[in-house]
Structure 1
Amino acid sequence: MSRVLLRLVLLLALPAVLVTVWWLASAGSTNVYWPPLRTILQAFPDVWTADRLRSDVLPSLLRLAGGYAMAAVVGVALGTLIGSSPRVRAVCEPVLEFLRAVPPPVLVPVIMLFAGIGDTMKVAVIASGCVWPVLLNTVEGVRAVDAVMAETARSYGITGVARLRHVVLRSASPQIFAGLRQALSIGIILMVISEMFAASNGLGFTIVQFQRGFAIPDMWTGILLLGLLGFVLSVVFRLVERRALGWYHGLRASTRRSR
C-alpha cells in the first residue's frame, strides 16, 4: 500500500508544482491572451458540458482510435514481414526512410484530395503518422529475436503461426509496445491538426473556433482538456502495457534482484 501511495505522489508531484507555478504566475495577469488560471478553471465546466463532450470530444477520440488501430495492425504486420527477411528489409529500407522523413501534417492536403474532408481523411492522417514508430520498432524487435531461442523452437518443430506468435512476436513485444507508446502521442497531435484543416466538430476544430472568436479563456480550456486527455490515455496505455508485458517486467525485476 505504501509503495502504491509513493508512486501516486511521484506521479502527481510535478503536475501539482506546474499548476501552482501557473496559478501564481498568471494570478495578476491583465493580458487578454494570457488570462489567469483561475479564470480558465472557472470557464471550464461552462464550456465543456456533457453535450459538448459528446459532440466534440467523442468524435475526436473515435477518429484517434480508428487511426491508431489501423496504424498498429499495419505497422506490426509489415514490420514483422520486413524484419523477418534480410532481403525484403534491404529492398524496403530506402523507401521506408524516405517516407518516414516526410512530416505527416504535410500530407494532409494530399490526403484531402483523395479522401475528402470527412472522417476518412482524419483517420488516414492519424494512421499515416502513427504507423512509422510502430513499423520501425517492430522491424528492430523482430531482427533482435534471440538466435538460440529461434533455433530451439525450430528444433522442437515450432513453425508457422505458432512460431510467429510464441517466439517472434513475444520476443519483439517490448519493442513493439515502445513504438505504440510513441505512436499514441503522435496520434493525439495529428488528431488535432487534421481537425484544424477541415472539420465541423472535434477538439481541434473547437479550439480554433474559440481562437477566431477571441474567446481566449475558452480556448485555453480546450488546450487544458487536450492535455488531460493525453495524460489519461498515457496512464491507460501504461496499465495495458504492464498487463501485456507482465512476463517481461517480472524477468527484468528478477534480473535486478539477482545482481
Structure 2
Amino acid sequence: MEPADYPLMRSQTAAMAAIRRYVADGYLHYLVTTTPSDKVLQAVQALQEKHRVLISPEAQRVRREAGLPTARLVLGPEPQGGRWPYALLATAKLPNERMTRAKQTPLRWLAWREQAWRPTYVLRPDPDTARWTWFLEEAFYKELLEEALLHTSRGDWPRLVGHLKTLGNLPRFGGIHGQLEKIRKRTQQAWGDRHLRSPDGQWRQPPWRKALEDWPRRPLGANVYLYVRPEEDRPRTLGEWLKRGGT
C-alpha cells in the first residue's frame, strides 16, 4: 500500500476500535502523538520506510513468525487545529521511537476539546473480563460527572438535557459505557423526589426522560465498521483528502 492509499477511519469510534484490535492482537508497544496536517503524507511515508506500517496482513504474519517487529499505524479520523493525531503500534519496541508498553502504562488516545488535542480515552483491561476496553480518562470523567451534578443542583434542565445528550454520543466501549451509566445513576439520584412532583403532588414527566431517549442501552459490540463507506461523501483515503484540499 502506498501512503496516499491509506484508508481513512470513518469516526473516532472506528479509530479507537482499530487501536483496541491491534493491542489485543499483541501490538503492545505504542506511541501516541500528532503531526502537522499539511505534512501528514510525508509522516506516513517516513513511518512506512522505517517500520513498514502499511504492509499487508500476510506480510505482517510472515514478519511475526520470523521474530521481527511488526508495526501498524492508526490515524485519527480527521485533523483539527492543523494537527493530525496518530497511534504507532508495534509487537516490540521500535528503534529510535519513544514507545511505551500498554501493559505497564495504559494507552491514552486523544480527542479534540477546548481547542487542543488532549488525552481523553484510556485503553486498559476490563477488571471483570480482562479484555481490552476503553475508559474515559479519570479527570475527564470527573469533569463530566461534576457538570451533570451542577446542572442538577441548579435545576437547569435544558443544560442538563443537552449535557446528557452529548454524553450519549461518546464512543460506547464497555469501560466508557459503565462510567456513563454511573453518571446517569448519580444524576437521577440527585434529582430526587422533589424534582419529579409538581407543587400539587402529581407526578410529572421527569426532565431526564427526553435526555435519555436515545441513550444507548448496552455497550458497543465487538464488530465496528472502520473505514469511510463508498456511499459517504467524504474522502476515503489520505490521497483523496489531499486532493480535496486537506490541510
Q: TM range, normalised to the smaller chain? A: under 0.3
Which of the pair is proportionally richer in helix? Answer: 1
Q: TM-score, normalised by structure 2?
A: 0.26
Q: TM-score, normalised by structure 1?
A: 0.25
Q: Which has the larger radius of gyration?
A: 1
